[in-house]
Amino acid sequence: MSDKHTPHIKATPADFAKTVLMPGDPLRSKFVAETFLENPVLVNNVRGIQGYTGTYKGVPVSVMASGMGMPSIGIYSYELYNFFGVENIIRIGSAGGLAENVQLRDVIIGMGACTNSCYQEQYNLGGNFAPIADFALLRKAVNEAEALGVRYQVGNLLSSDVFYNANPKFNDGWHRMGVLGVEMEAAALYMNAAYAGKKALAICTVSDHIIRGEALDADARQSTFTDMMTIALNIAASEN
């Protein structure tokens, strides 16, 4: 841990709470801070990646955007874990549904994160690493979802490196293997956490269903995503 800022985060370790919520969108970071946190302070805005720290239920909590894709969350989560003393990162994002039992607005709690990325090759493992969530955070997420009456699913996510895939059948195999939904960040977050000896969890709201061709409009996304945020915030309050 260093007192010097990095090329991507202009802050000090004291600026961040033990737990950081990490949406992809900087504006969603701002929304969480202004809607849920008491006395939020902007602690980072390098490249417009907004990071805030405030309190929730009297406990310090931070929220900072990750940007889109594994390279982006790979940078920010690595720096938070290794240079700023952060212990827990909870991704809060959207996912495209794949499994038949997944419905729009469902919250997916990512027990694991399959990927088509080569992110793991840096570790020279000689095999395939299975990125998984921290079980204690996952169990708390399930308990919070049940207490709030939120419809949720627990299982595998697919973290894809490609949004516009040239192969129209790309998702078919993952669907066959029971993957619940597709997003673009969780696998890198889980690998960074494992390498740093820290904890991570991805909680995603289903904004569209890839197989059935269903999708929420912009207004529905905004009103629905607050369930996922509340689950993550309650976990963060219990971790500090």
CATH number for the domain harbouring residue 84: 3.40.50.1580
Residue 116: pLDDT above 90? yes
Residue 1: pLDDT above 70? no
Structural domains of the chain, count: 1
Question: Which domain covers residue 24, as residue numbers?
Answer: 13-239
Q: For residue 8, tell me if it sits in a domain.
A: no
Give the pLDDT of residue 240: 66
Q: For residue 7, tell me if it sits in a domain.
A: no
Q: For residue 5, tell me if it sits in a domain.
A: no
Contacts of 132-139 with CB under 8 Å at 24 or more apart are 132/190, 133/109, 133/190, 133/200, 133/201, 133/202, 134/88, 134/193, 134/199, 134/200, 134/201, 136/199, 137/88, 137/90, 137/199, 137/200, 137/201, 137/235, 137/239, 138/109, 138/111, 138/201
Give the pLDDT of residue 20: 96
Mean pLDDT of the chain: 92
Q: For residue 6, tell me if it sits in a domain.
A: no
Active site residues per annotation: 208
Q: For residue 116, tell me if it sits in a domain.
A: yes
Q: For residue 3, tell me if it sits in a domain.
A: no
Residue 30: pLDDT above 80? yes
Higher pLDDT, 132 or 44: 132
Residue 191: pLDDT above 60? yes
Residue 101: pLDDT above 70? yes
Residue 237: pLDDT above 80? yes
Q: For residue 72, tell me if it sits in a domain.
A: yes
Q: For residue 135, tell me if it sits in a domain.
A: yes
Residue 173: pLDDT above 50? yes
